[in-house]
Amino acid sequence: MRVLVIEDDKETAQFLQKSLKENGHTADLAGDGESGLALAMDGAYDVLIIDRMLPRLDGLSVIKSLRAQGNRTPVLILSALGEVDDRVKGLRAGGDDYLTKPYSYSELLARVEALGRRTVPEEQQTRYTVGDLVLDRLSHRVTRGGDHILLQPREYRLLEYLMQHAGQVVTRTMLLEHVWDYHFDPQTNVIDVHVSRLRAKIDKNFDKPLLHTVRGAGYTIRDGPA
Amino acid sequence: MTALLERVAKAASTTAFGLSAAAVAFFLFVAAIVVGFLFWQTNNLLTDQVLSTLNAEARILSSEMNVGGRAKLTQTVTALSHPQGTGLYYLADRSGAKIAGNLNRIPPELDGAPRGGVFSYQPSTAGSGATHLAVAIPVDLGSDLHLIVGRDIEDQRVFADSIRRIFLLGFGLLSVAGLLGGLAVSRLILNRMDEITATSRSIMEGDLSRRIPMAGKGGELDALAENLNEMLDRIEGLMSGLREVSDNIAHDLKTPLNRLRNAAEAALRDPRGAEAYREGLERTIEKADELIKTFNALLLIARLEAGPLEESVETFDLGRFVEDVAELYTPAAEEAGFVLSIEVEQGVRVRANRQLIGQAVANLIDNAIKYSRAGEAGNAITVRVFRLGEGAAFSVGDRGPGIAPGDRERALKRFVRLEASRTKPGTGLGLSLVAAVARLHHGEVRLEDNQPGLKVVVTLSGKCLVPACETAGDARVSLAAQ
């Protein structure tokens, strides 16, 4: 995946470049809004990581100019600013996801990978399949090895999101944001209980587990070792 | 004396005085124009009257000349010429020598004035030096005789003079009264301003408890003082909040920071090497995350207290949403041995910040799970949404130890962790965040006795409530309602 990091703090930018490289991505750096905008317009990037506060041209203006010129590259906004309004403003300007500093790298990586995959039109897909687990989005039926699995609506949405990102790490915050549409800190690990209930339904009576916990990061659903 | 002068000078230099002086000057200017115009008009009218009388007389005298000739005219003029009368006459022959009349000579002002005019003369009866004003016109009697017919208008002049004097005096009085009034008004305002200035100065010097005294008459200045006082209350509240927070930050963040440092140090000293380092680093990250959480909560509270967040206000069904959030916690509560029950009044639509309301509900349920004893009898946690007066409210009640009435207010403050809860994990910011969210929605947080246990009620003001008629078209079915 080709990633462009527009971030004025050298140390953060280099940390991101190095870490993304370790995970098999290539990252270019831009130190200010103007050069970042120029690079983003020229290069074919899969994901843009844009800091909100940048010299010369602030992050939101960079995103607005990109969108105004028809560039639809997914954007992850990084911000040291508080939550609530700033997140709304960021998304309204054309950002696709929003992460508040300080963030953990695993959170950032999971979001970048999820955004990069979004360029494939997954939304129209009517069936998700992982191993012998099948989720039919038209009939809302979930089967594993042909057996019908009865899920609560929320469990269905949880599984749908996980399967949409099959093979990728999905963090607890991402689940909270996309499955529940909550953008606040739940204080305790409420997500884990929901995931373990889902796991009991889809993995318990089968030899091969599909839903894996990724230590220090989140969850992933995949046919194969975690 | 100099002190008084100084005060007057100060009052005179104020805006209030300047404005009233300008108002007085403008009034006088307009009044002068009006009075001047009236005066001029009246004078003209009187003069016109005199002139028409003179013209009539001139016609009679010239017809007399036509009928009776020079002798008859001379006789008439002589008869008319009373020494004390107001009628003035001068009849002369071709050479200019006087034939009859009570004027001694042709007034020099009338030379070269074929249609007559105003002149002054010395009447024979008046004392020496006294002159009277008069109007006269020449009468056309052919080339042989010169006749001038006039009228003494001294009375009119005296009248006009006295009117003029009265007006000047009146204007003088008005200006003086106006200026004195202006001075008095500006003195009054200046006194109040001085009070406000003195108060703000002592506030600037650090005495935040000072307030502007009010006259109690409910005027604009009182309204201003009241507003300023309210602003000062708010500033003082914010300042003391800030001071408290910085004290608490120093105190409460030092401990986790120290623990973080200890963990790193212990890992470094551990003889097991790489494995210990890994464990140590993991613990360090964990502790750093906790610190970050605390900072985030602090920043969020600060942001909420700074003012409204218009961008992210949404309209939603409060009952359905709170139910939804509670549902998120149901499995976790069950695992911890609680029974989470939800009682929701239908159709309470609000215009509020959904994410913040969610955060508040989450904090309250999390607190209830954390601080009440699970597994015992009465391990129920009840979440309610209901209408309250003009507004709406939601509450979370538990059957835990509760909070003593004396501690309730303190528990809402930042970083305050009551003794009972010090050993439990948490930032100590949960309830104060809830309070900040309530304040943002013009509501409040009340800690009540749940008999037994603690019930936290969060009210939202009626301003947040959306009238029921707007909800008619909303037929969305909640996915979460289970």
Q: How does pLDDT run across B429-450, given as a tens digit for each residue?
A: 788 888 888 888 888 888 888 7
Which among A157, A185, A194 is the nearest to B331, CB-wise?
A: A194
Of A89, A152, A194, Cβ closest to residue B482? A152
Using an 8 Å CB-CB cutoff, list chain B residues near A182.
325, 328, 355, 358, 362
Q: Domain boundary at A67, A87, A117, which?
A: A117
> B163: buried, middle or exposed (CB in 10 Å: 19+, 13-18, 0-12)?
middle
Greater confidence, A223 or B413?
Answer: A223
Residues A141, A66 within the same domain: no
User: A183 CA to chain B: closest CA distance, Å?
Assistant: 6
Q: Are residues A111 and A174 in the same domain?
A: no
A56 touching chain B per CB within 8 A = no
Q: Which of B282, B296, B366 sits opposite A188 (nearest CB)?
A: B366
Rounded to an integer, what distance in angstroms lies between the CA atom of residue A46 and that of residue B390?
51
What is the DSSP code string of B174-240? Answer: HHHHHHHHHHHHHHHHHHHHHHHHHHHHHHHTT-TT------SS--HHHHHHHHHHHHHHHHHHHHH
Residues 6+ apart with CB under 8 A from A186: A176, B328, B329, B362, B366
Contacts of B293 (CB under 8 A, 6+ apart): A185, B427
Looking at residue A6, which CATH number applies to its domain? 3.40.50.2300
Look at residue A59 and tell me if it is in a domain: yes
Residue A226 belongs to some domain of the structure: no
**Residues in chain A closer than 8 A to B331 (CB atoms):** 190, 193-194, 197
| pLDDT (0 to 100) of residue A159 | 92
The pLDDT tens digits along chain B (482 residues) read 677 778 777 777 777 778 888 888 888 899 889 888 988 898 888 888 888 888 888 888 888 888 888 888 888 888 888 877 788 888 888 777 888 888 877 777 777 777 778 888 887 765 666 788 888 888 877 767 888 888 888 888 888 888 889 888 988 898 888 888 888 888 888 888 888 888 888 888 877 778 887 777 777 878 888 888 888 888 888 888 777 767 767 776 777 788 888 888 888 888 887 888 888 888 888 888 888 877 777 778 877 877 777 767 888 888 889 998 998 898 888 888 888 889 988 888 888 888 888 989 998 898 888 877 655 556 788 898 988 888 888 988 888 777 777 777 777 766 665 555 445 556 667 888 888 888 888 888 888 887 778 888 988 887 777 775 444 444 343 333 33
A55 & A131 share domain: no
Tens of pLDDT along A61-117? 889 988 888 888 899 998 876 566 778 888 888 888 888 877 888 889 999 988 887
Residue A122 lies in a domain: no
Residue A102 preceded by cis peptide, ω within 30: yes
Which residue do the tokens 């964990």 mark? Answer: B286
Boundary (domain end) residue, out of A71, A93, A117 = A117
Number of domains in chain A: 2
Same domain, A178 and A204: yes
The tokens describing B320, both together, are 């359905």
Is residue A20 located within the same domain as residue A85? Answer: yes
Is A175 domain-assigned? Answer: yes
Suggest the residue from B303, B340, B369 to mutate for an interface test with chain A (most A CBs closer than 10 A). B303
Residue A80 near chain B (CB below 8 Å): no
B357 touches chain A (CB under 8 A): no
User: Do the chains contact at A88 and B353, CB–CB below 8 Å?
Assistant: no
With respect to CATH, is domain B220-306 assigned 1.10.3470?
Answer: no
Please spell the DSSP secondary structure of A119-138, one letter per residue.
TS--TT--EEEETTEEEETT
**Minimum mean pLDDT among A131-135, A205-209, B410-414, B456-460: which range?**
B410-414
Domain co-membership, A179 together with A97: no
What pLDDT is attached to residue B474? 41
Cα distances (angstroms) measured from residue B148 to each of B68, B105, B317: 18, 10, 105
Chain B's closest residue to A153, CA to CA, is B479
**One domain, residues A78 and A132:** no
State the distance between the two ends of chain A, measured CA to CA, in whole angstroms: 21
Single out the residue in A117, A145, A178 at which a domain terminates: A117
- Chain A CA closest to residue B330: A190
Determine whether domain B313-471 maps to CATH 3.30.300.30: no
pLDDT, position B478: 37
- The CA distance from B369 to B315, in Å, is 29
CATH 3.30.565.10 domain position(s) in chain B: 313-471
User: CB of A216 within 8 Å of any CB in chain B?
Assistant: yes
- Chain A touched by B328 (CB under 8 Å): yes
Does residue B276 sit at the A interface (CB-CB below 8 Å)?
no
Residue A35 located in a structural domain:
yes
| pLDDT at residue B471, as a whole number | 43
Half-sphere exposure of B21 (CA within 13 A, CB side): 11
Contact B309 A84 (CB under 8 A): yes
Chain region(s) in chain B for CATH 1.10.287: 220-306
DSSP assignments along B41-107, one per residue: HHHHHHHHHHHHHHHHHHHHHHHHHHHHHHHHHHHHHHHH--SSSSEEEEEE-TT--EEE-S-SS--
Among the partner-chain residues B292, B358, B480, the one whose CB lies closest to the CB of A102 is B292
In the predicted model, is pLDDT for residue A136 greater than 60?
Answer: yes
The CATH number of residue A138's host domain is: 1.10.10.10
Q: What is the predicted pLDDT for the residue at B477?
A: 38
Give the nearest chain A residue to B361 (CA atoms): A186
On chain A, the residues whose CB falls within 8 A of the CB of B363 are 187
- Domain coverage including residue A173: 127-221
- The answer to ipTM > 0.90 is no
- Window 162-201 of B, Cβ < 8 Å to A: none
Q: What is the predicted pLDDT for the residue at B475?
A: 39
Six token digits for residue A217? 């990061």
- Answer yes or no: is pLDDT of A226 > 60: no
What is the C-alpha separation between B54 and B135, in angstroms, rounded? 9
Alpha-carbon distance B208 to B234, whole Å? 11
Helical ranges in A55-167 per DSSP H:
59-68, 85-92, 105-117, 153-164
Structure confidence at residue B428 (pLDDT): 67
Inside any domain, residue A60: yes
Indicate if A188 and A140 belong to the same structural domain. yes
Do A100 and A158 reside in the same domain of the chain?
no
What residues of B are in contact with residue A189 (Cβ under 8 Å)? 332
Give the pLDDT confidence score for residue B375 in this predicted structure: 53
> What's the pLDDT score for residue A122?
55
Residue A45 included in any domain: yes
pLDDT at residue A156, rounded to an integer = 92
